[in-house]
């Protein structure tokens, strides 16, 4: 590869001024501030031998007057192009391909890189500097030496639950380019819709690209809009257009064709590919469904033909084949599947999934490509050359790396942007979870369990945007910004949680650019953040904001803080039922959303609590204390107040501090079978005075819990004890006839109280 050196030059004063840190995201590996400033000229004159596509992109982004001049021109040229000899060592590593440096002095700006890709990344940094100094027209002198830590810096977009136009997908790609992400994972097929034209199988889009209606509102409402959705899909010409657009921005598109599960849209068009006769229809609900591809010859022929057309459209090294959330119900009941298990000496249906994935991998490998799939492709043994996308946590990535398979880290707890990013009560309806900006920024993609050699198999990091509750592109923007900025700095390798406040300030400066672009970003960063902490007589409520905390005003009686409120000075004691409303003001003007938090304290509120088993990382916000913080979880908002346990019982011991009288125990749990969340199988209550010898005082079964609809209230007679122990039994393995059959059930619990 040739090494390019690009020179921007202009005349300006060399008077030294102390320079502040630039507002760059992701922040470069090395920035050394220098004396002086570079004055931005009215007209930027570029050498006509500069790489055309990248430089055209620069012109488009800057929006300033730009002219091309021949290198032989005697007129002043602000941008000169010099070629350096090919380096002695070949440029193979992704970091070298993307390496660049920028030197800004009072007389010139020098950009160097080995490749056009590195040049393009340098332009992103330069554009941010131009945007930051658009008004004063002076860029501080500095030297930047930069390269990414991770080769895979990705964002995902689900277009199956809700569809987005070609122009909107291009905008999405532009957002990735702005912040130096280089991989776009395009989720093109699922139960709710098939979104890519396959010429050999026209019914995939004629039938599979539409559904009769869509679920709306919270999952527990089980309501539908009654409106036909679709047909929506991308033609192959449109796919080519988007691929070319991404290539011009040095972004690789990785297409995803789901298999063997999440196949209802495909089966609605070609029911003969299932284990049963059907008929099938594209799903109208969200969740996981039992009908999946049957591993028979005609299915593999179909998928190979589909992949042939996909691989002709997408030049990416990796093809994503899904592999997640594949119930084994139909395979267990299918004579062909059972014979296949016996014939190939497979252990069980999990072994059959591995057989399915390996069959597809051999075909994809024969075409010179590789497969990547969600971490369930580890079930039954990983295909020889497959890469893993670790989403259920970090264990999939750890297992893959230790067995010398590449992995992309995308754990839901940090990288699912369909989760809430602010207080669920003041946010649009989301799928669930709670993943605020600072949590994304805190993520380290290299698991501590890996040694240096194993860590080399971590390709990088990716965030995912599933669109069950994202109805339009404005909402897409809202869910990815500003969290995409945190992801970009994590992926670049310069995120530092100790300096989060500095990052937050740079984000706020970047909002000016998003405002100019009319991007509908989330302003949760301005909103009041409430934290419940233990106090002498229960709990206290601590308020904070990214801005000056002196601007916080609040009420404790549920009234509007914009009308009658008091200034926040110290933590708010919570010893009785109350509703705290708070907001941030500047010069008397409301600058944030009004946050609302209801408290319903009981005799357990603020007490010490321990859990025998810890919740899933994805649903562990606040830890065990969440169960005694005095906040009743909203059953329609699976956000920050719930703890989720996958296949585990909840066994909690609460220390009341002294012998205490109580006669009722209550707790809240959830049921959302489409997401594999089931009510508990049973509950037992125990009491003790020494935390060793416990006496069971109450036990109820599944029927009583079902009748309570998740709001369990137990009369236990008059008790006088120091310790309460409660065991809430997980439903276990999901039974046949339910989404996710044969998988571990989820148990969600919130607020264990005593009265």
The answer to whether residues 44 and 78 touch, using CB atoms and an 8 Å cutoff, is: yes
Q: Dihedral sign, CA of 386, 387, 393, 394?
A: positive
Quick check: is 325 catalytic?
A: yes
Count the Cβ atoms, other than its own, within 10 Å of residue 65: 11
Catalytic entry in 256, 258, 325, 468: 325
The answer to whether residues 473 and 164 touch, using CB atoms and an 8 Å cutoff, is: yes
643: its two tokens: 């703890």
Kindly state the greatest CA–CA separation across the chain: 97
Tokens 């500069």 belong to 50
Parallel, antiparallel, or unpaired for β 387-390 and 407-409?
Answer: parallel
Catalytic entry in 250, 262, 350, 405: 262
The answer to whether residues 263 and 276 touch, using CB atoms and an 8 Å cutoff, is: no
Residue-level length of the chain: 755
196: its two tokens: 């890519």
CA 407 to CA 388: how far, in whole Å? 5
CA 324 to CA 262: how far, in whole Å? 8
Helix H or strand E segment including 656: strand 650-669
Nearest CA among 473, 575, 558, 622 for reference residue 172: 473
124: its two tokens: 């992103």
Nearest CA among 463, 505, 457, 459 for reference residue 480: 463
Q: Which residues are paired to 159 by β-bridges? A: none
Q: How far is CA 619 from CA 344, 612, 645, 647, 750, in A?
A: 39, 16, 8, 13, 11
Tokens 């500003």 belong to 482
Nearest CA among 485, 509, 488 for reference residue 437: 485
Catalytic entry in 132, 158, 190, 361: 190
Helix H or strand E segment including 256: strand 252-259
Q: What are residue 313's phi and psi, to 5 degrees?
A: -90, -35
Task: Give the ranges where 442-482 is alpha helix by DSSP (H).
Answer: 452-455, 473-480
3-state class of 663 per DSSP? strand
What radius of gyration do the chain's Cα atoms show?
28
Quick check: is 308 catalytic?
A: no
Tokens 């956000």 belong to 639
CA 50 to CA 533: how far, in whole Å? 58
Q: Which residues are paired to 724 by β-bridges? A: 654, 687
CA 643 to CA 649: how far, in whole Å? 12
Quick check: is 190 catalytic?
A: yes
The answer to whether residues 414 and 440 touch, using CB atoms and an 8 Å cutoff, is: yes
Tokens 């395979």 belong to 331
Q: How far is CA 553 from CA 532, 543, 557, 559, in A?
A: 17, 10, 13, 12
CA 319 to CA 667: how far, in whole Å? 45
Hey, which bits of 450-577 come out as E strands? 458-463, 529-535, 538-544, 552-555, 566-567, 572-574
Q: Dihedral sign, CA of 543, 545, 548, 552?
A: negative
Helix H or strand E segment including 234: none
Nearest CA among 138, 121, 115 for reference residue 28: 121
Q: Would residue 265 be called left, alpha or beta, if left means φ above 0 and alpha means ψ between -120 and 50 degrees?
A: alpha
Q: Which distant-in-sequence residues (6+ apart) come within 8 Å of 681 by Cβ?
A: 701, 702, 705, 729, 730, 731, 732
Helix H or strand E segment including 495: none
So which residues are the catalytic ones? 190, 262, 325
């Amino acid at each position: 590869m040739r090494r390019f050196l690009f020179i921007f030059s202009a005349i300006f004063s060399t008077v030294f001024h102390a320079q502040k840190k630039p507002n760059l995201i992701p922040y470069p590996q090395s920035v050394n501030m220098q004396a002086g400033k570079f004055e931005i000229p009215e007209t930027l004159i570029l050498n006509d031998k500069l790489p055309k596509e990248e430089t055209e992109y620069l012109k488009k982004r800057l929006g300033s007057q730009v002219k091309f001049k021949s290198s032989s021109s005697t007129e002043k040229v602000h941008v000169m192009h010099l070629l350096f000899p090919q380096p002695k060592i070949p440029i193979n590593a992704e970091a070298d391909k993307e390496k660049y440096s920028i030197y800004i002095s009072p007389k010139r700006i020098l950009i160097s890189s080995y490749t056009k890709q590195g040049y393009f990344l340098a332009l992103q940094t330069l554009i941010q500097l131009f945007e930051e100094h658009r008004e004063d027209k002076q860029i501080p002198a500095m030297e930047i030496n930069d390269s990414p830590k991770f080769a895979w810096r990705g964002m995902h977009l689900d277009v199956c639950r809700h569809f987005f136009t070609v122009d909107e997908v291009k905008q999405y790609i532009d957002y990735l380019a702005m912040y130096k992400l280089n991989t776009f994972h395009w989720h093109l097929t699922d139960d709710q819709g098939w979104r890519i034209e396959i010429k050999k199988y026209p019914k995939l889009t004629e039938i599979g690209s539409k559904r009769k209606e869509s679920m709306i509102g919270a999952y527990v409402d089980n309501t539908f809009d009654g409106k036909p959705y679709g047909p929506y899909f991308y033609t192959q010409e449109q796919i080519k257009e988007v691929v070319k657009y991404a290539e011009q921005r040095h972004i690789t598109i990785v297409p995803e064709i789901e298999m063997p599960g999440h196949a209802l849209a495909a089966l609605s068009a070609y029911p003969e590919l299932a284990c049963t006769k059907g008929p099938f229809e594209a799903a109208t609900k969200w969740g996981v469904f039992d009908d999946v591809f049957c591993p028979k010859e005609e299915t593999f022929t179909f998928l190979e033909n589909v992949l042939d057309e996909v691989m002709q459209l997408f030049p990416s090294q990796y093809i994503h084949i899904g592999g997640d959330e594949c119930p084994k119900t139909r395979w267990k009941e299918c004579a062909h599947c059972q014979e296949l298990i016996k014939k190939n000496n497979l252990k069980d249906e999990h072994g059959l999934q591995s057989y399915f994935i390996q069959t597809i991998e051999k075909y994809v490998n024969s075409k010179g490509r590789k497969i990547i799939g969600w971490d369930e492709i580890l079930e039954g043994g990983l295909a020889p050359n497959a890469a893993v996308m670790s989403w259920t946590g970090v264990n999939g990535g750890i297992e893959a790396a230790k067995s010398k398979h590449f992995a992309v880290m995308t754990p839901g707890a940090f990288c699912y942007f369909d989760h809430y990013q602010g207080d669920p009560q003041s946010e649009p309806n989301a799928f669930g979870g709670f993943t605020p900006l600072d949590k994304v920024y805190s993520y380290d993609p290299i698991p501590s369990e890996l040694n240096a050699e194993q860590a080399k198999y971590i390709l990088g990091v990716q965030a995912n945007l599933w669109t069950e509750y994202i109805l339009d592109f404005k909402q897409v923007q809202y869910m990815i910004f500003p969290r995409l900025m945190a992801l970009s700095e994590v992926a670049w390798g310069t995120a530092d949680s100790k300096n989060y406040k500095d990052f937050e300030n740079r984000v706020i400066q970047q909002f000016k650019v998003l405002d100019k672009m009319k991007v509908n970003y989330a302003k949760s960063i301005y909103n009041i953040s409430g934290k419940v902490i233990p106090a002498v007589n229960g709990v206290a409520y601590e308020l904070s904001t990214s801005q000056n905390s002196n601007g916080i005003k609040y009420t404790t009686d549920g009234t509007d803080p914009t009308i009658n409120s008091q200034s926040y000075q110290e933590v708010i004691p919570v010893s009785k039922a109350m509703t705290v409303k708070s907001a941030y003001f500047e010069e008397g003007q409301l600058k944030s959303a009004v946050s609302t938090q209801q408290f319903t304290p009981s005799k357990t509120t603020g007490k010490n609590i321990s859990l025998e088993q810890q919740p899933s990382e994805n649903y562990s916000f606040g830890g065990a204390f969440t169960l005694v913080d005095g906040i009743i979880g909203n059953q329609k908002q699976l956000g920050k107040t719930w703890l989720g346990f996958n296949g585990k019982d909840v066994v909690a011991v609460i220390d009341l501090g002294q012998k205490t009288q109580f006669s009722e125990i209550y707790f809240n749990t959830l049921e959302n079978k489409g997401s594999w969340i089931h009510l508990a199988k049973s509950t037992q209550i125990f009491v003790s005075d020494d935390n060793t010898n416990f006496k069971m005082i109450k036990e109820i079964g599944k029927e009583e819990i079902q009748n309570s609809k998740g709001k369990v209230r137990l009369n236990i007679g008059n008790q006088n004890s120091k310790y309460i122990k409660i065991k809430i039994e997980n439903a276990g393995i999901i039974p046949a006839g339910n989404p996710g059959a044969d998988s571990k059930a989820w148990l969600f619990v919130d607020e264990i109280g005593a009265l």
